[in-house]
Amino acid sequence: MQRPKMSEVVATVLALGVLGATWSAVQWAPAGPIRWLSAGCAVVGAATLMLWGLLIPGARLLAGERAELTSRERARLKPVERVEAVNNARQALMQSVTGLVVIVGAIFTAGGLLYTARTLDVTQQGQLTDRYTRAIEQLGSSKPEVRMGGIYALERMMNDSDRSEDTRTILEVLAAYVRSHAQDAAPPGVDKTRLAVDVQSALTVLGRARHPVMPDLQGVDFHRKNLSFVNLSGISFSDADLRWTKMVGVNLSKARMVRTHLTGADLAGATLSGAYLANTTLIYADLTRANMSDANLYGTQLVEADMRGANLARANLSHASLCGATLSSANLTDALLIEADLGVGFVRGIERLSRNDKVPPLPASPLEIPDHPIAKCSSAWMDDAILRGADLSGANLHGVQGLTEEAARKVARVDKDTQF
């Protein structure tokens, strides 16, 4: 049995050492210097093995030799050839040591950079936590200007942080602040319907922030407040109380407004494209020239709503109640009005009220609707409305003013259940 050569023994021991150091770095060593030391030893050992493989067995294979010189072959070497062999061995050894030093230096430099980066990240997170704590303390101040400073400090942190978790937390804090302070008094000497300055600031930040999640203003009470021209895109207002709220030119694109109460709201010129308004109450709402393209208005109460010139292209108005609504010059291209009610009928829980009448007092419980009909509703007005490609299957068009059966059949889709 041939004895193993010393170089092979050393290589085997080194390989086992590399495996042990790798296992220690991955499984055993705790996070910190010990893990870094184990990883460094594993990398250095692997580099040494690679150099040994290239300079000894690899070089021999490239030279066409399959085995080392025997003792007899070495004895036949001339003195000059022996000196040359020793010099070549020394040169190869020096090159190996130099290469190993370069590799080790590069490895430890990279490790130092990684450690510095981790330390810097931990330091930045600590600073962000301190800033967050101070901003939260500012929100509890009795001075509105201090609270505004806290709100904008949170926005600055949200922009400085690359972590979506930080952005999500700050958005939740600002949304909770708005829900809690929505009915705070306006500044002295101004319109009483205006929002408090700090609430206005929080809404501004929510509107222009990057949204990893939809800011949740569910159940917020903004009734009879002025939200005109505020950017509220992508925000959830489900179950919110927005009755008789002034929202002229507001941006509610892609907002979620399920079961939202918008009775009497002024949404003239508002943007609601892509918004989700299923089962929302928009009775007596002013939606003139509003952009509701691609909006979902399934089952929405639009009784007596004013939608003159509104853009409802590709909107879903299926099962919506539109009796008494004004849709003059509205764009309903490719809209869905399946089983929508635009004809004469009775409506539950609605008092007779003209849009020009004085705004009535709010009932104590806005969410309660009587389960018996108390008002008769006239049919909708649809003169000059664009119905090209609209789906009127099963819709109630009985008595609709400004639209003949012939005109409807010519441009829209109807079926045997459509009522004229």
Residue-wise pLDDT for 356-408, tens only, equals 444 445 444 444 444 334 456 678 889 999 999 999 999 998 888 888 888 88
Same domain, 234 and 120: no
> What local confidence, expressed as pLDDT, does residue 165 receive?
84
Confidence of residue 33 (pLDDT cuts 50, 70, 90): low
Q: What is the pLDDT of residue 209?
A: 82
Same structural domain for residues 328 and 229?
yes
- pLDDT digit string (tens) for 117-145? 666 666 666 677 788 888 888 998 989 89
Return the residue matching tokens 């889709």: 413
Q: What residues are paired with 331 via a beta bridge? A: 311, 386
Domain around 238: 217-356+369-420
Residue 169 lies in a domain: no
Q: Say if 163 falls within a structural domain.
A: no
Does residue 154 belong to any structural domain of this protein?
no
Q: Is residue 196 part of a domain?
A: no
Same domain? For 117 and 221 the reply is no
Cα–Cα distance between 321 and 262 in angstroms, integer? Answer: 14
pLDDT in tens, 43-90: 666 766 666 665 666 555 555 555 666 666 666 666 676 666 656 666
Question: Could you tell me the CATH number of the domain that includes residue 275?
Answer: 2.160.20.80
Q: Is residue 338 part of a domain?
A: yes
- pLDDT bin (cut points 50, 70, 90) of residue 311 is very high
pLDDT in the model for residue 261: 95
Residues 249 and 109 reside in one and the same domain: no
109, 126, 143: which is the final residue of a domain? 126
Distance CA 198, CA 184 (A): 9
Looking at 126, 152, 175, the residue that finishes a domain is: 126
Give the chain's domain count. 2
Q: Quick one: pLDDT at residue 364?
A: 42
Lowest mean pLDDT among 1-15, 246-260, 273-287: 1-15
Whether residues 119 and 224 fall in one domain: no
Q: Are residues 113 and 227 in the same domain?
A: no
Q: Specify whether the CB–CB gap between 268 and 252 falls below 8 A.
A: no
For residues 115 and 259, membership in a common domain is answered with no
Same domain, 397 and 278: yes
Asked if 275 and 257 count as a contact pair (C-beta separation under 8 A), the reply is yes
DSSP string for 7-30: HHHHHHHHHHHHHHHHHIIIIISP
